[in-house]
Amino acid sequence: MTNLPISAASATQQPTHAELVREPNRAVRIATLITIVLPLIGLITGMILLWPIGFGWTTLGLLLGFYAFTGLGITVGFHRYFTHKSFDTNRVMKWILGISGSMATEGSILYWVATHRSHHQHSDSEHDPHSPHHHGEGLWAMLKGAFHAHVGWMLPGEKPNIHRYAPDLARDRDVLIMSRLFPLWVFLGLAIPTVLGGVITMSWSGALLGFIWGGLVRILLVHHITWSINSVCHIWGSRPFNSHDHSRNNLIFGILGFGEGWHNNHHAFPASARHGLRWWEVDTSYMVIKGLSWVGLVRNVKVPTRERIEAKKKAA
């Protein structure tokens, strides 16, 4: 096939849905980022002001420990393993990843995977379940879009088509059992830090603080960071790769989200177990996956070659 001149090729190509969506200006991006980050700053401030009254080393340990355990259950388990099959593992690790992700209280495995695969198939089109675009023009419209992408898309209570987007998992007996037992995992995600808080401090107040900080606040924090990938990382950040949507790399949520904030990298290479593709792009989830592979618990880890990475970079 003969290559067309650039001008002729451009004339024959139809614009993609991403090209039809207006790019948000700098003011919109800054306002959105402030809206999302400000509550996190407020939470940290509250922790400092409450130290040691109502908050201390035990509650901090429970908060961070269960944040890491359930957050990595989402990023390593629900996202990179169940959704994108970026590595293989044994049945025991499969259950550990499924249970820890379920404890994050973001829905069952089947619900989460079907929703996320739908997002990838229709990313930033009108059929994307949580795109911040398509809400009109101007600052107010973009803020409405950011709210929709962050949490608003869940309010109607619509369920994804599991048999369309996750037929492989719908036939997996282990996944079916874990998904049906989702309320049990949520209960354990609240009960375990409660019991630990009480046992460590040998007090009922310690149990209550374990429930609040290791349970409720931890769920809020994990949710907020996860939802920020949907909202902030489709509005604010860099786009080093051609991905046919508005996914962006965001340093803040790359760190807080265990590597998930390198979102443009992920949309360029969805099956990759590694999202932080440059040396300075911290990807804690990939570090965990790599560590598990070293001890034989994970195998067939998928990472794009240097040639594929270079080929997909945007032209300067």
In a domain, 95, yes or no: yes
In a domain, 197, yes or no: yes
Count of domains in the chain? 1
Q: Check whether 275 has a pLDDT greater than 90.
A: yes
In a domain, 22, yes or no: no
Domain that holds residue 205: 30-42+57-312
In a domain, 72, yes or no: yes
In a domain, 21, yes or no: no
In a domain, 245, yes or no: yes
Residues 191-206: tens digit of each pLDDT = 999 999 999 999 999 9
In a domain, 20, yes or no: no
- Residues of the chain above pLDDT 70, percent: 87
In a domain, 146, yes or no: yes
pTM for this model (two decimals): 0.87
Residues 205-250: tens digit of each pLDDT = 999 999 999 999 999 999 999 999 999 999 989 999 988 899 999 9
HEC sequence for the chain: CCCCCHHHHHHHCCCCHHHHCCCCCHHHHHHHHHHHHHHHHHHHHHHHHHCCCCCCHHHHHHHHHHHHHHHHHHHHHHHHHHHCCCCEECHHHHHHHHHHHHCCCCCCHHHHHHHHHHHHHCCCCCCCCCCCCCCCCCHHHHHHHHHHHHCHHHCCCCCCCHHHHCHHHHCCHHHHHHHHCHHHHHHHHHHHHHHHHHHHHCCHHHHHHHHHHHHHHHHHHHHHHHHHHHHHHHCCCECCECCCCCCCECHHHHHHCCCCCEHHHHHHCCCCCCCCCCCCCCCHHHHHHHHHHHCCCEECCCCCCHHHHHHHECCC
Mean per-residue pLDDT for 47-56? 87
